[in-house]
Chains A and B, each alone.
Chain A
Amino acid sequence: MPLGSRAAPEPPACSTDCPSAQTVALIEKLKRPLPAQTGYTEVRFVQMLDAPLTLRGELTYSSADELGKRVVSPYEETTTIANGQVQIARPGKPAKRFSLKRAPALAGFLESFSATLAGDAQRLARSYVLTSDGDAAHWRLDLVPRDPALARHVQRVVIRGHESTPRCFEIEETGGDSSLLLVDALANTAIDGTPDRKALQQLCQRAP
């Protein structure tokens, strides 16, 4: 379990498929002071829909397991994660509450996001098999879940960034759906017409 096992005895940091020294160095460079806040643009590719959804809003990250995700456009929705519980509130509707485990994609994102911002390579390596690619200016970090329960839903998380700043979180779900979250310098990327996944990935990889 990526979450909730905080107080359980620490397993050895990594025994198989350990990250390379280069990958560890890259992650440690990403450490940010808390709390952190950034705008974002998220593009979700859902198979049921013939066009991807584009959502804009703000992420607030205050501690290892507390994350606020506020959608401001095209509609309003506030998601709060705290202590393994998720609450989704929409204006004029009663809030929905559920365990983080019910939303594995969200759990995977939270774990990768928080461990990355903590620069904690050990913690990240416990939950994922890590590989990295690129150079110091433009890099890409691949996270493949180790936990079978998470792997049933999340195939891979790809983080792309520039120097010491992650700019894109891409979550590939097993059913074929995926989402790309652009943050920091790319948070206000203009998206015209129907966004294209390949083009967005290029943007994440290449943007100066």
Chain B
Amino acid sequence: MTLRARLVLLALWLALLAGLLAYILGALKISTDLRSFMPPARTPEQRLLLDEIGEGPGSRLLLLAIDGDEPDTLADISKALVPKIRGDARFVRAMNGEGDIGALADDLLPYRYLLSPTLDAERFDAAMLRDQLQQRVQDLGSPAAAWFKPLLANDPTLETLKLAEAWAPPGEPERYAEVWFTRDGTTALLLAETVAGGFDPAAQRDAQDALDGWFREAAKDTKARLVLSGPGVFTVRINATTSAEANRIGLYDSIGFITLLLLAYRRVGTVMAGALPLVSGGLAGMAAMALVFGGAHGITLAFGFTLIGVAQDYPIHLFSHLRRDRTPAAVASLLWPTLATGVASTCIAYLAFFASGVDGLEQLAVFTIVGLATAALTTRFGLVHLLGSRPHDAADSAWLAALWRRLARLPRPRWLAPLLAIAAVAAMIWAPGAFWENNLAALTPAPPDLVAQDTRLRQELGAPDVRYLLVIEGADADAVLAASEKLEPKLAQLQRDAAIGGYELPSRYLPSLATQRARQANLPDPATLRSALDDAQQGLPFKPGSFDAFLRDVEAARALPPLTAERFLASPLGLRLKAQLQPRDGHWIGLVTLSGVADRDALIGLAAQPDTPARLLDLKNASESLVAAYRTRVLYSLAVAALLLVVVVTVALRRRSRVLRVLLPMAVTTLLILAVLRLCGVSLSLFHLIALVLAAGLGLDYALFFEHVEDDEHEQRRTLHAILVCSASTFLVFLLLALSSLPVLRAIGTTVTLGVAFNFALALLLTRPRQEIPHAR
């Protein structure tokens, strides 16, 4: 092809890629919510975790600490922040301790006698009222008089204050200037609950950026600082450090990779053109996901790009086999059967993932199959036409010739495969530690300073535990509330026993209809109340008629229809209840949050009692069982994929001995990687499994090319060159990942690095045909 034609082809190719990119940017929605990557729930606990509560109300709480300036300034900032948070659709609620008095909206005020527990044990008789009025006289004489005075005419027994106290969070922090502060008085404290789950990094970052913006606005011209904590903050931080480290390693990788290719092929244009198939494959894969699913999960993309990394080997095979007496197209057509066997068998194997029934895995299958096929086809039919006609011939290299001769003399120990396999299986069986790591968080640990800070703030705020939760289910809201009332004395006992620090029940905000009716029945009729009040006032200095408003309110309360959950949820206070009482698919669930869980067994014991109307949900267990379920799906898919791979390779190579020589190194390598990881005390995670699949794909390619050697010694040297460049570049790229400080990157890195080394060595020893030995000198 002329230079001009090559430039036109390049321009067309790049234009096509730009078009694909534009389509992807418009059509592909990237989701980051971990839940959409998980398989459908099987147990009730998993269903609750996935469908109903996200990762639990505790995980959606952000803890805000403001310090660095005078307490008055901090309090003002705290007061300025809360209305902004409350007015935003990204947040469920915000609390800073402020605004307790009159928290009951005016239209619900008459309900105070139905909501407050006073009438459960007491009656508005002369003795009770007299005691209350005597206390009110003292209140009027006390320094707090200004506080009580506006309430007295309507509410001489101060039910509104009792409700405000009852609704204050358990273990409420100290206050200064009406808002929460740490005990030492240096830091203002707030709680904000996001709508998004704590483990959704994109939505969490959005919410946290909004908080930061409001804070900067409120704290203008002050020295105040905002510190955020909570699971959502960890998620954002981990996400940022992981991608920052991955990007940094990626940069070093690219530099090393390009240097290696330049050394190997000595042509800048060739090396640059070599990137086109992989880029094309990635873009085509993403476009296919946009077309089929309309969106993709962030994890799918990350895993997917790891998996199609094997496509970088396709141009390398082509480049290493280039020679001056043949056009690149002719070289490619000779290589194609071998390359196509590898690509086709890998793609067909990935079909197994498509049938897994898990969204994330189906996306992964589409992305990988389309990506690998595109990369192979563009290498074969596009890249070849871009290359110049005077390539660097790898077979000319003297050191390669020397290496080839040495390698050709290596023995072919047939006994090696079974020996290694047995040793590996034995090592796996007897290696210490847990085989599987179900706690995904262990792979992305939160920085210890953040954890320590979170613990401190959580104690100051009495914020609920992120792990344990009691769940009440009922046919309607009232059934849940009634069950919640039944649970109250049991939890109070646990609190007295110091098994838990505190608890928050839905019925704390809204009693059941039956309880409300019982309290209503205990309200005296107007005449009785008036005479009791007159008796109570004897000898006390209140002016006549001081409590007429009280008499009117009680009379009104006697006729009220009990307050329903629907009505309460619609009121401003309802937001607090909504976090704990929700309708769901024809039934209602109530969530009981616990704080300061000190005795796990006591909780388990409580939940096991037959008359406990609630289930204990261990969010850590539930999410670990989900991960285990997910892994089971991946393992099934992998087993089917392995079978498919054997079938495809068998069909392509036909002879049993050839099939065995190609598949054996890959299979033994997989066992060896597992054995080494387990011997090093590593528990295996999903990330290891995905990396194993990549390693197997690489091994298949090496073996296919080693197996398919020409009689021509020069051609054999070129194949050796190709596999050397492939394995060296992959080894380099993943070795850097393996050296990462982040466990998740280390997991992928070590697995693939080991895989490349074992696959190369085993393919060399087990795959090359024995009859080639006599030709070697």
Contacts and interface: CB of A to CB of B under 8 A. Distances in A.
Given A5-B72, A48-B546, A90-B138, A96 B541 contact: no
Given A49-B140, A84-B177, A4 B70 contact: yes
Contacts of B72: 1, 4-5, 8
A168 to B, nearest CB: 18
Interface stretch (B146-154, B452-460, B472-480): B146-154
Contacts of A53: 137, 140-141, 541
Contact of B140 (A44, A88, A96, A99): A44
A153 B541 contact: no
Given A50-B543, A51-B541, A8 B70 contact: yes
Interface of B: 70-72, 137-138, 140-147, 149, 152-153, 175-178, 185, 541-543, 546
A199 interface: no
B145 A46 contact: yes
A177 B137 CA distance: 14
Interface of A: 1, 4-5, 7-8, 42, 44, 46, 48-51, 53, 55, 69, 71, 75, 77, 79, 83-86, 88, 90, 96-99, 101-106, 153, 173, 175, 177
A42 B140 CA distance: 13
Contact of B143 (A1, A50, A86, A97): A86
A103 B175 contact: no
Nearest to A174: B146
Residues of B contacting A: mostly: mixed
Nearest to B540: A49
Given A4-B72, A48-B149, 18 more contacts: A4-B70, A4-B177, A48-B140, A48-B543, A50-B541, A50-B543, A53-B137, A55-B141, A69-B143, A77-B138, A79-B142, A83-B185, A84-B71, A88-B144, A102-B146, A104-B146, A105-B146, A177-B149
21 contacts: A4-B70, A8-B72, A46-B140, A46-B145, A48-B543, A48-B546, A49-B137, A49-B541, A53-B141, A85-B176, A86-B143, A88-B144, A97-B175, A98-B147, A99-B175, A102-B147, A103-B144, A103-B147, A105-B145, A106-B143, A177-B145
Contacts of B146: 102-105, 153, 173
- Which of B138, B175, B546 is most buried by chain A, counting CB atoms within 10 A of its CB? B138
B142 A77 contact: yes
Nearest to A81: B143
Contacts of B140: 44, 46, 48-49, 53
Contacts of A85: 176
A165 to B, nearest CB: 24
B655 to A, nearest CB: 88
A114 to B, nearest CB: 15
A46 B141 CA distance: 9
B471 to A, nearest CB: 33
A167 B142 CA distance: 21
B541 to A, nearest CB: 4
A196 B658 CA distance: 116
Contact of A79 (B70, B143, B153, B185): B143
A105 B137 contact: no
Contacts of B543: 48-50
Contact of B144 (A86, A153, A177): A86
B144 A98 contact: yes
Nearest to B137: A53
A70 to B, nearest CB: 12
